[in-house]
Amino acid sequence: MGERIYEQDTCVLAAVEATYGTDATPTAAANAMRVKVDFNPIDGDQEALEYDAGRGGSKGSVQRNKRLTGTLTGYVAGSGAAGTAPAIGPLLQMCGLKPTVTTAEKVVYKPTFPVTDSCTLHIFRGKNKHPALGCRGNLEVSLGPNALPKFTFNNIIGLFVDPASVGSFQSADFSQFENPLVTDPVSITKMQLFGQDVNMAELILRLGNTVTYRAVVNNESVQVTGRMPQIEVLFEEPLIGDFDWYSKLSKFGALAYQLGQDVVDAGHIFELTAANVQLNSITPTYVDGISHLRCVLDVVPTARDNDFEMTFR
C-alpha cells in the first residue's frame, strides 16, 4: 500500500478560460477557491451491450464518453474593497453571470445569454489532480438569517482530462477571500417584496440554468441552453388588513435585498434586486408556532438579460 489520500488534502483551483476548453492553468497561489467540493471525477454515458449469448447474465457495456460533474459550495462575501470583484467571481462567470465593474464603487453581476465564459477546474485529492476544462454550471444563492449566506454551484459539468499525480501537496492561498457578513436582523438592512418590508426567514435565488454536455462531430462542449430563474421567500404572515398577499397571486412586483450597512460595511455589502417578479404560489406554513407564507416567484425579464442583479459594493 502506497501513500494514502486524506480528505483534508482536498482543494479546488479555478480560472476563467481565455479560449473555451483550453486549460487556463490555475495555480494554488492565485486561483484557489475557498469552497467545499462534492464531485464525480469520471461521470459519463455507458451503453449496455445487447446480443443473444445462449445464457443469462450481463453482456457488459461500453463507456461512450467521460466528463466531470459536481457541486461547489462557497460563501457570499465581498472582496473587502468596493469596486473589486469577489475572489469567487470566476465561478459566478462560469454560470453565465457577467461582471460590470465601476472603479472604487461596485461590481454588478447580471445573467447573460448565450453563456460565453467557462472555467478550468483543477481538483486535488491529496497529490492526485483531476482537471476539467470548459466547465459551466448552475447556481443557487441562500440569503436567509438561519445560516451564513452561501453560493451553491450545482450541476457543474466539465470536459474530462486524464487525472495525474503531482509531486507535492497544494499550498492554497485564500488571502483574497473575506469572511461573509452574518445574515442577522442587524446586517440585513433591506428585505422588501412588492414594496413591503417582510419578516423574512428564508430567501433562495435559483438561477435555473439548463446545463448540457454536448458531444457532436467536430465538437465536444458544455452548453447552457436555457435559464429560468426563481426566487423562494419564507416570511411571517401579516394580517390581511395590513397587506393581503393572497390578492397578489399572479401579480408582478419587485424584490430588494441588502446585506450590510452603507458606508460602515463598504467592500462587504451584497445586494440582490429583481425588478419584475411574478408571485407564482403561496403556501401557508408554521415555523416555531408562527404562521409564515412560503412564496415562489418567477423572475420575468422585461428586456433581454435584465432578470436580476447581484451587486458587491
Q: Per-residue pLDDT tens for 123-175? A: 999 999 999 999 999 999 999 999 999 999 999 999 999 999 999 999 999 99
Q: Per-residue pLDDT tens for 282-291? A: 999 999 999 9
Q: Mean per-residue pLDDT for 201-215?
A: 98
Q: Mean per-residue pLDDT for 275-281?
A: 99
pTM (predicted TM-score): 0.96
Give yes or no for a contact between 55 and 96, defined as CB atoms under 8 angstroms apart. Answer: no
Q: Mean per-residue pLDDT for 103-132?
A: 98
Average pLDDT of the chain to the nearest whole number: 98
Helix (H, G, I), strand (E, B) or coil at 9: helix
Identify the residue whose cell numbers are 440554468.
Answer: 209
pLDDT band at 2 (very low <50, low <70, confident <90, very high): confident
Give yes or no for a contact between 159 and 133, defined as CB atoms under 8 angstroms apart. Answer: yes
* Long-range contacts of the stretch 299-302 (C-beta < 8 A, 24+): 299/229, 299/230, 299/231, 299/274, 300/252, 300/276, 301/276, 302/275, 302/276
**Cα dihedral angle (236, 143, 99, 26), rounded to 10 degrees?**
-170
Q: Per-residue pLDDT tens for 51-92? A: 999 999 999 999 999 999 999 999 999 999 999 999 999 999
